[in-house]
Amino acid sequence: MKKVLLTVLDPTRATLLVAFAIGLGIAVHPMFFLAALLIAVAAFGEGFKHRTIIGLAAILIAVAGNSSAVESAKAKEKAQTGGIQPFTYGNVVAHFKAAGLRTTEVQKRCTIFFDGEWKNANIYNYCVIMIENSDEDVQATFYLTDAHEMNWVTEFLDAPFFAQYETQKLFGLMNSGRDVRGEKIGRFRVDFHRWQPRHAEIFVFSFMPIRGRG
């Protein structure tokens, strides 16, 4: 390494190059800093076996690269889940109340929302949304009679108590055309069922928090 540096560059420029490498090491990751120091020793030291030192530097760089990738993945996950509201019965109820839907509180653990209008006997244009809270899960049931009412499901899955990747997986689940039970999606075990009676569509989502997750 020393021969390469001193052949291509004069000692002053080689010193500046190694100093620059050390600066990058400090800025990017501490392991890179240590690797740069070892490279400097290999380039200018006389009492060390250069190949061994360069080998150690390469190992440090590999470890640092892997560590940086892991940290980057963790940071990305934190960014995706950061700033979201807790998924609770109260927050879900508050979400639909804020939308201006008419509300009936059946009891402390069950609230019904409804919307619709009468046009004529041949047009079905209404929806009923029921939010239930048990000791184990929060369940949301959507009874829809018009394609326009599907917006309520979309707004629910886009609500701020779901992380972005959870929302994407829930949409995928809804569009998969299959019922599921206990599927792991983000912080939850999710049950999903869909029925299509003659004049409506019924969607049921059940969310059971996974212990140890937010």
Q: Is residue 2 very low, low, confident or very high in pLDDT (cuts 50, 70, 90)?
A: very low
Residue 11 and residue 77 in one domain: yes
- Best CA proximity match to 149, nearest among 116, 112, 120, 177: 116
Residue 151 and residue 108 in one domain: yes
Q: Give the domain extent around 193.
A: 89-209
**Does residue 214 form part of some domain?**
no
Q: Which of 55, 81, 107 finishes a domain?
A: 81
pLDDT value of residue 15: 55
**Does residue 101 form part of some domain?**
yes
Domains contained in the chain, number: 2
In percent, how much of the chain has pLDDT > 90?
A: 46
pLDDT value of residue 77: 44
- Best CA proximity match to 140, nearest among 101, 197, 82: 101
**Does residue 102 form part of some domain?**
yes
Residue 125 and residue 61 in one domain: no
pLDDT value of residue 79: 44
pLDDT value of residue 11: 52
Residue 48 and residue 110 in one domain: no
Residue 96 and residue 167 in one domain: yes
Q: Give every CB contact of residue 27 below 8 A, 6+ residues apart in sequence.
A: none
H or E stretch including 188?
strand 188-195
- Residue 161 pLDDT exceeds 80: yes
- Round the average pLDDT of the chain to a whole number and report it: 76
Residue 33 and residue 122 in one domain: no
What is the model's pTM?
A: 0.61
Task: Give 121-131 pLDDT, tens digit per residue.
Answer: 777 788 999 99
pLDDT value of residue 156: 97
Residue 61 and residue 134 in one domain: no
pLDDT value of residue 177: 86
H or E stretch including 167?
helix 164-174
In one letter, which amino acid is 24?
Answer: L
Task: Give 58-95 pLDDT, tens digit per residue.
Answer: 554 554 555 454 444 444 444 444 578 999 999 999 99
Residue 193 and residue 117 in one domain: yes
d(CA 184, CA 209): 10
pLDDT value of residue 138: 97
- Residue 196 pLDDT exceeds 70: yes
Q: Is 133 helix (H, G, I), strand (E, B) or coil?
A: strand
Tell me the mean pLDDT in the region 5-32.
52
**Interior angle at CA 184, CA 97 and CA 138, nearest 5:** 30
Strand partners for 77 = none
Residue 95 and residue 201 in one domain: yes
